[in-house]
A and B are shown apart, each in its own frame.
Chain A
Amino acid sequence: MRIFLIGAGQVGFAVVEALHSDHDVTVLDTEPSRLAALTERYDVATVEGDGTSRRVLTAAGVQDADLVIACTSRDEVNLVAGMFARREAKNATTVIRTSNVEYVELWRVGQLDVDFVVCSELETAHAISRIIGVPAARQTDVFAEGQVQIVEFDIQEGASQDVLGAPLREAKIPRDSKVAAIIRGDQMLLPGGDEIIRSGDRIVVIGSPEAAQAWSALLAPEGATVRDVVIYGAGRVGSAIARVLLDQGIRVRMIEASPEKARSVAEALPQARVYNATGIDPDFLERERIGHANAAIFAMRDDAKNLYAASLAEVHGVRFTIGIAHEQVSVEAFEHAGIDVSVNPRAVTAEEIIRFAHDPRTKQVALLEGNRYEVIDVTLRDTSEYIGKAFKEMPVRGALIGAVVRNGDAIFPHGDDVLQTGDRVIVFTEASDAPRVVDAL
């Protein structure tokens, strides 16, 4: 597939990283240094120029592309580039990134002439809402219209003995779920029935939403449902998160240091309780009982501030912290410092964009563990060799079928179940194996 990418920022980098090995990628950006950094690492063509210029776009060959992605940090550039690409490359799919929820709404009602709109803020908010739904999880992704969840858990001391210490075939694993992988140190195991989950492991579970919650309860018994959330930072990300959580009936308190921003978010979200404070004043934290919140989300613009505020919140008793990491490097720092979950909006956005580059049969993918593993939602070819085979007979080839979607309903298969023509399968695999797995299916 020929992919034309406008914008070589963080999102652009993540997209290139995921796509460069299997596709022909051309990257356009105004900044030569960014393009140089890109060519140093990846085998992609680069063009220096302005994405809002139709002449530049045609000279760079946008008309030959199958997929056009506009993912600069500026909405207007992405919009203009997306619309030009739509005119020039009639058969291409156009995807644009935006940071404005309004554009997403416009696109939904057909007022924006592009194929897909991906909003970093909205994707981040949904990612966080999924995490909040399963508090013990590090990361969750949903598939098949929410019927299937892929959840990553860290196994800590104190997890229920139902799942710990016994071989998987004997462990009391929640119904309609399957342990897809165990990550132990740098190693990933696709577990057979003899494998034992140990504390310190990280596991990937595929299952129904109820099963995911049951897992969460097993692994973090004290982490009951989240009803009360504190969000630090009322910028675009913070506001988007607040909006999504309020819609789910969760009580939201927001802390914002800028009086103007605090006022405007208070005007926009009447149900949220907004404080104009830095959030690092111990008196304030004590007085407002911030420590009593079930979870705190740190969505300020500065990663360092997020880190410090999160540490302080933990000192004051917040048990579940989620940090927004604007730089990929911060994710590690956050984890090291004890923030429970880190979300990088640009990574989330890139992940969303990458979905469009997959085989047309592929509905959706998720990336886990810094792009090392992929979860693919793919429809079986009529000629697939797997049709008619029972699961227990299937060869293990570095991939695991976690769920089957048949006639719109999710099935969590057992050894005797058989794949049928037209089934959609949700497969967990290593990223490098993903194209091979899709071919085989």
Chain B
Amino acid sequence: MDVKATANLIGVLMKYLGLAVVFPIAVALVYHDPIWPFLAAGAITSGVGLAVERATADAAVRVGTREGFLVVAATWLIAATFASLPYLFSGGDQLGHPIDAYFEGMSGFTTTGATVLTDYDELSPSLAMWRQFTQWLGGMGIIILAIAVLPRLRVGGRQLLESELPGPEIAQLSERIRNTARRLWVLYVGLTALETLALASLGWLGIDERMNMYEALAHAFTTMPSGGFSTQANSIEAFSAATQWIVIVFMLLAGANFALMYRGITRRQPRAFARDEEFRLYLVLVGVASTALVVQLWSYGLAEGEAAVRAGIFQTVSIVTTTGYATADFAAWPTLSLLTIFALMFAGGSAGSTSGGIKLVRHLLVGKVLRRELDQTVSPEVVSPIRLNGAAVDERTLRGIAAFILLYVGFWAVGAAAIAIESAFDGIEIGALDALAISASAVGNVGPALGITGPMGSYEPLGDVSKLTMIFLMWVGRLEIIPVVVLLTRNYWRM
């Protein structure tokens, strides 16, 4: 464990991370907002980074696999701190409290989309855009971004990339990590630009009167990372049906495997999608769950016709991809619908996408392992490798998936207990299902939960312990648990 080299790399990352304030400063200048909160946040982050880098300049050149875990875990804590500084400086009553500011920062970078905001109108345009922008930065991964753009970043193995990119295995798009990272980011930027254009043109054509360039960019920034922050208190409900349909399409793209999309686009092989087992499961799940919700909404008389279809699909896609947008206050739906939404929080999108949660490929592989277990109960000698898209999956990977799911469920349960206990003491109105949903929503980076913390609600009423619990859950959820838990083992710190 080379602490010095780790600190050095983190210092370098902080130094460049601070430069991200250039964008909100530009927005602030356009809207005549004060630029000092952003300037200060950037200066502090870059300054501390520079100081750490200087102090550890004599560190070893390379950061290995072991150090990678600490770099990733620490960088994400620091990124959330960085995101919270502008809220702390100019957030007023809503975001000025340190825990609230850090909550909003962590929710931003981890693309969760849970918020403590209650009054959206009070927020200045530049601070609102900063919230959206932090989700966009966190979506494809800040370290992946650093690998892609920073010159001669002293990063060794694929460990860093693997810790940050969702899913059990990373798809190699190139022999070089840097090229893989670049291609992922190019696709990400491209899709964001496309969505901005699509949404903005609805405004220009007069189809959606509330849509303009600012809103288009703000929502593209939180769709592609499957984030879920909105500039509007009632999320995407504030916009027209056409806007909602476009957002559905881009949420679906954000929940698909970016490596698969890259291959499908560059090699012009649309059949690659049809052959991918995870992608097929993704479409089937969205199809089945949407149908279930549409039927429920229609039969309960909550919506009908195109509105019911749109509401069912939108909510399903939003939760499955862990975006967390809403076009209806699903917290007010009947119990069956609540349970549907709650169950979908455990699905997650595809591996290699920007979504959170368990990820469909893990469900797929666990299902196959279970089927094999049953087979081997009858015939213990049978050897049947688990296959994904025809290729055999390593047994170690399968064990890793089992460990991940156990830890995921463990963190979710403990988190829910912590939230339920504190809420009971503080007398906050949180039901049992609500507490379970809040915890699931945080660890899965979904955003909204049920009850008062539903899509149109806020996490503001929760106590400090609950908020800190959620901050922790969002953090471990985004990094897919294992890189963080590894840091808690004694063996990690030996030598």
Q: Which residues of A are interface residues toward B (Cβ below 8 A)?
A: 256, 259, 262-263, 266-267, 270, 273-277, 284, 287-288
Contacts across chains A and B counted by CB atoms under 8 Å: 30
CB pair A274–B379 under 8 Å, yes or no, is: no
Q: Which residues of A contact B390 (CB under 8 A)?
A: 270
- Asked if residues A274 and B383 are in contact (CB atoms below 8 Å), the reply is yes
Known: A263-B383, A266-B383, A270-B387. 10 other contacts (CB 8 A): A262-B383, A263-B385, A267-B385, A267-B392, A273-B384, A274-B382, A275-B381, A275-B382, A275-B383, A276-B381
Contact call B379/A287, Cβ cutoff below 8 A: yes
A256: chain B residues at CB < 8 Å are 383
Residue of A nearest to B391 (CB): A267
Q: Please state if B381 and A277 are interface contacts (CB–CB under 8 Å).
A: yes
Contacts of A288 in B (CB 8 A): 379, 381
Residue of B nearest to A256 (CB): B383
Mark contacts of B382-418 with chain A using CB atoms, 8 A cut-off: 1 yes-contact digit, 0 otherwise. 1111010010100000000000000000000000000
Contact A273 B385 (CB under 8 A): no
Complexed CA–CA distance, A62 and B387 (Å)? 50
- CB-based closest 6 A-B pairs: A275-B381, A277-B381, A267-B392, A262-B383, A274-B383, A266-B383
Residues of chain B with a CB closer than 8 A to A266's CB: 383-385, 392
CA distance A267 to B390 in the complex (A): 9
Chain A residues with CB under 8 A of B379: 275, 287-288
Q: How far is the CA of A284 from the CA of B381 in the complex (A)?
A: 8
Q: How far is the CB of A394 from chain B (nearest CB, A)?
A: 58
**Across the interface, which residues of B come within 8 angstroms of A275, CB to CB?**
379, 381-383
| Bound form: Cα–Cα A126–B387 in Å | 29
Contacts of A274 in B (CB 8 A): 382-384
In residues 86-108 of chain B, which contact A (Cβ within 8 Å)?
Answer: none
A368 to chain B, nearest CB (A): 39
Complex: A263 Cα to B383 Cα, angstroms? 6
Residue of B nearest to A268 (CB): B392
Could you tell me if B387 and A276 are in contact, using CB atoms closer than 8 angstroms? no
Query: Closest Cβ of chain B: how far from A144's Cβ, in Å?
Result: 38
Query: Which residue in chain A gives the minimum CB-CB distance to B393?
Result: A267
Residues of A within 8 A of B381 (CB): 275-277, 284, 288
* Chain B residues positioned under 8 Å from A259 (CB to CB): 383
Bound-state CA distance A256–B387 (Å) is 20
Residues of A within 8 A of B387 (CB): 270
A267 surroundings in chain B (CB, below 8 A)? 385, 392
Closest to B378 in A: A287
Question: Closest chain B residue to A265 by CB distance?
Answer: B383
Within 8 Å CB of B392, what residues of A? 266-267
Query: How far, in whole Å, are A239 and B299 apart by their CA atoms in the complex?
Result: 57
Q: Which B44-95 residues have C-beta < 8 A from chain A?
A: none
A284-B392 Cα distance, complex, nearest whole Å: 26
Complex CA gap A277/B380 in Å reads 10
Complex CA distance for A378 and B379, rounded to whole angstroms = 53
19 CB < 8 A contacts A-B: A256-B383, A263-B383, A266-B383, A266-B384, A266-B385, A266-B392, A267-B385, A267-B392, A270-B387, A273-B384, A274-B383, A274-B384, A275-B379, A275-B381, A275-B382, A276-B381, A276-B382, A287-B379, A288-B381
Q: Nearest residue in B to A255 (C-beta to C-beta)?
A: B381
Chain B contacts with A in 336-379, Cβ cutoff 8 A: 379
Residues of B within 8 A of A263 (CB): 383, 385
Instruction: Report the separation of the CA atoms of residues A273 and B385 in the bound assembly, to the nearest whole angstrom.
Output: 11
Residues in A whose Cβ lies below 8 Å from that of B385? 263, 266-267
A267: nearest chain-B partner, CB-CB: B392
Least CB distance, B172 to chain A, in whole angstroms: 20
User: Distance in Å from the Cβ of A305 to the closest Cβ of chain B?
Assistant: 17
Compute how far the CA of A218 lies from the CA of B381 in the bound complex, rounded to whole angstroms. 38
Distance in Å: Cβ of A112 to nearest Cβ of chain B: 28
Whole-angstrom distance from the CB of B374 to the nearest CB of chain A?
Answer: 15
Q: Given the complex, which residues of B lie within 8 Å of A287, measured CB to CB?
A: 379
A284 to B, closest residue via Cβ: B381
- Report the minimum CB–CB distance from A149 to chain B (whole Å): 36
How distant is the Cα of A259 from the Cα of B381 in the complex, in angstroms?
10
In whole angstroms, what is the CA distance A259 to B379 when docked? 15
Instruction: Please give, as numbers and ranges, the residues of chain B lying within 8 Å of A270 by CB-CB distance.
Output: 387, 390
**Complex Cα–Cα for A263 and B385 (A):** 7
CA distance A138 to B356 in the complex (A): 63
Q: Which residues of B contact A276 (CB under 8 A)?
A: 381-383
CA separation between A287 and B375, bound complex, in Å? 13
CA distance A263 to B387 in the complex (A): 12
- Please measure, in the bound complex, the distance between the C-alpha atom of A288 and the C-alpha atom of B381, giving whole angstroms: 9
Smallest CB–CB gap between A213 and chain B, Å? 33
Task: Compute how far the CA of A109 lies from the CA of B384 in the bound complex, rounded to whole angstroms.
Answer: 33
Bound-state Cα–Cα, A288 to B379, Å = 7
From B382, which residue of chain A is reached at the shortest CB distance? A275
Which has the most chain A C-beta neighbours within 10 Å: B379, B382, B387? B382
CA distance A390 to B41 in the complex (A): 106
From A261, which residue of chain B is reached at the shortest CB distance? B383
User: What is the CB-to-nearest-CB distance from B280 to chain A, in angstroms, rounded to a whole number?
Assistant: 18
C-alpha gap A275/B390 in the complex (Å): 20
* Cα–Cα, bound, A262→B392 (Å): 13
Q: In the bound complex, what is the Cα–Cα distance between A412 and B82 (angstroms)?
A: 90
Complex Cα–Cα for A262 and B380 (A): 14
Most buried by A among B385, B387, B390: B385
CA distance A275 to B376 in the complex (A): 10
- Give the residue name and chain of the B residue nearest to A273 (CB): B382
Shortest distance between the CB of A25 and any CB in chain B (Å): 46
Residue of chain B at shortest CB distance from A263: B383
Question: How far apart sit A287 and B378, CA to CA, in the bound complex (Å)?
Answer: 9
CB distance from B277 to the nearest CB of A (A): 14
Give CA–CA (A267, B383) in the complex, Å: 9
Interface centre among B379, B383, B390 (most CB of A within 10 A): B383
In whole angstroms, how far apart are the Cα atoms of A250 and B381 in the complex?
21
**Bound complex: CA A133 to CA B321 (Å):** 54
- CA of A296 to CA of B384, assembled, Å: 21
Bound complex: CA A427 to CA B381 (Å): 49
**Chain B neighbourhood of A273, CB < 8 A:** 382, 384
Cα separation A263 to B392 with both chains bound (whole Å): 10
Q: In the complex, A365 Cα to B26 Cα: how many Å?
A: 86
Cα–Cα distance between A262 and B383 once the two chains are bound (Å): 7
